[in-house]
Amino acid sequence: MRLRAALPGNARELVGEYERHLELERGLSAHTVRAYVGDVVSLLGYLHGVGNADDGAEDGGEAAAEDVAALAGLDVGELRAWLAEQHQAGVSRTTLSRRAAAARTFTAWAHRVGKLEQDPGSRLVAPRPHRTLPGVLRPEQAEQVMSASSAGAAERDPVALRDHALLELLYATGIRVSELCGLDVGDVEFDRRVVRVLGKGGKERTVPFGVPAEKALRSWLDEGRPVLVERANGAAAKALFLGVRGGRLDPRSVRRVVHDGVGSVPGAVDMGPHGLRHSAATHLLEGGADLRSVQELLGHATLATTQLYTHVTVERLKAIHDRTHPRAR
């Protein structure tokens, strides 16, 4: 925010236009918009000499001339120099790749709306990130997590019923934590055992869930939610999962629930909702599901993202082979 405030007025206006484009025209989530805008502010800060993405604005940043065009001098050389400066500062390959992608998106938009005569981002190549997956639960560990959660829910405490329901639903569907928190009661169809999810880019998909998740959801809706909904008001009254004060459950609370639930199993890798999503995808593939079906369930835009999970299953197969085959060693 300090760096954005230190930009020349015309650059700040440009950032505002781009932010509105991301929010209103592309319908991106608040988190994604914040990340894209932050990278663009970093780029413009570098271009106008008013600081960098990691240190914030420097004193005197307002001295940049207001009459200089917001994108003056922006070409592929400047883009490369911006990334090179961050590389020298120790920024990771993954972050550099993300910032390069953000810059390409920004320059393509700027060219399309007439802010740039040419699109320099189309010629920008960044190092590929080291894409790694977090640890995943073994199927028996996932079963232990759900069993422990079910034992807590047996006390019929509203919060325990809620926590068990959200753990079962996260693992059954592999949906993102933001998608879980955005669910309304009407998004659950018990007759078909599916949930309608609004994913990235405003794309809706339908994801099935099994009998354990159905039972946990019904218990929460019948016994737990009515206690908390009395404290709800406004739009939160429609939310599937509620906080103890009646508001829509937030991602931070879900992360705590998953962390505590997984932590109850000895030897299980520490994880949050994203790790539970990875576990669900891995177990689907190990159970014989095809990549295209898993892609649809997870809401991945490309099959390449889903293919990352095959590395996990292959490594597991190799470990099993090494441990059990008489000619493995």
Catalytically active residues, by annotation: 176, 200, 274, 277, 300, 309
Q: How far apart are CA 191 and CA 239, in angstroms?
A: 20
H-helix or E-strand containing 6? helix 2-6
Strand 194-198 and strand 188-189: pairing? antiparallel
Largest CA distance in the chain: 76
Beta bridge partners of 242: 248
- Cβ contact 235:246 at 8 Å: no
Q: CA angle, 120 as apex, 118 and 122 as ends, to 5°?
A: 105
| Best CA proximity match to 219, nearest among 227, 230, 209 | 227
3-state helix, strand, coil in the chain (%, to 5): 60, 5, 30
Phi, psi of 204 (to 5 degrees): -95, 140
**139-153 and 273-286 helices, crossing angle to 10°:** 130
